[in-house]
Amino acid sequence: DGGITQSPKYLFRKEGQNVTLSCEQNLNHDAMYWYRQDPGQGLRLIYYSQIVNDFQKGDIAEGYSVSREKKESFPLTVTSAQKNPTAFYLCASSIRAAGGSTDTQYFGPGTRLTVL
Amino acid sequence: QQQVKQSPQSLIVQKGGISIINCAYENTAFDYFPWYQQFPGKGPALLIAIRPDVSEKKEGRFTISFNKSAKQFSLHIMDSQPGDSATYFCAASKGTNKLIFGTGTLLAVQP
C-alpha cells in the first residue's frame, strides 16, 4: 500500500519544548515538502528537499528544522524558537526533483500540533 | 508577484447546481495550475490540474477554465453533490515544484 504517512495524528507540546513530526513515504519520490496550514489560510511552505542530504528553506522556515538522511523520510522539528507553533502540519512528496516541469504533490494526512 | 488570490472565501450551493471558484495570479512565469480538495482533518488531494497551453480541461464533473491574458483560472463543479462539500485550494508554480497556494474556498452543498 503506497503512500505518505505522518505521525502522530495529534501532538501536544508545552511551551519551550522542541517536538519532531514524522513523515515517511514509500512512493520512491525524490522530493519532499513540509507545509503549515492555519485556519482561513492557504498552505505555506516551511522546508523542502529535492534529494537526500539536501534541503532548502521555504517561505516560513524560522523556528523549524529538518533533515533528509533517507529518501523515504523527512522529519520536521518544531523548535522552541517558533513563536506560534499551533497549526496543522502537512507533509507532501513528488516524483522527481526540480529541473523539469512541475510534478504532482501528494499529501499525507497531517499532524495537528497544539501548544499548551 | 508570488501571490495567488482565491475567491470566494466560502460558497453555498444547492444540490445539482454549479459551483464556481476563481483564482488570479500575477507571475506570468507560472506554468502549472492545480486544484486540490481537502476534507476536514485530512490532507489535500489533487483534483485536477492545467497547464497554460490549453484553455479548458474537464475531468468528469470538474472543469478548469484558464484565461492566460487575464491571468485567471477557475474551477467549475457541475451537478454539485453533498459529497463535494470540502475546502478547495487553487495553486500555481513554475518549474521548481514550489506550489503557491490560494487561501481556500469552503464549499457547502446543501441537499
What are the start-end ranges of the H helices in A1-116?
Answer: none
How close B104 comes to chain A (CA, Å)?
6
**Residue among B79, B60, B68 nearest B31 (CA):** B68
* Residue whose C-alpha cell reads 453533490 in the numeric block: B81
pLDDT of residue A1: 56
Q: State whether B101 and A43 contact (CB < 8 Å).
A: yes
Cβ B101–A107 below 8 Å, yes or no?
Answer: no
Cβ-Cβ contacts under 8 Å, B40 against chain A: none
Burial of B92 (0-12, 13-18, 19+ CB in 10 A): buried
pLDDT computed for residue B96 by the predictor: 65
Is 80 exceeded by the pLDDT of residue A2?
A: no
Model pLDDT, residue A99: 56
Query: Residue B6's closest chain A neighbor by CA?
Result: A42
Residue pLDDT, tens place only, B64-74: 999 999 999 99
CA B108 from centroid of its chain's CA atoms: 15
The identity of residue A90, as a single letter, is: L
* Confidence band of A73 (pLDDT split at 50, 70, 90): very high
pLDDT of residue B108: 98
- 8 A C-beta contact, residue A48 and residue A68: no
**What 3-state class would DSSP assign to A88?**
strand
* Beta-carbon count within 10 A of A86 CB: 14
Tell me, what's the pLDDT at A103? 75
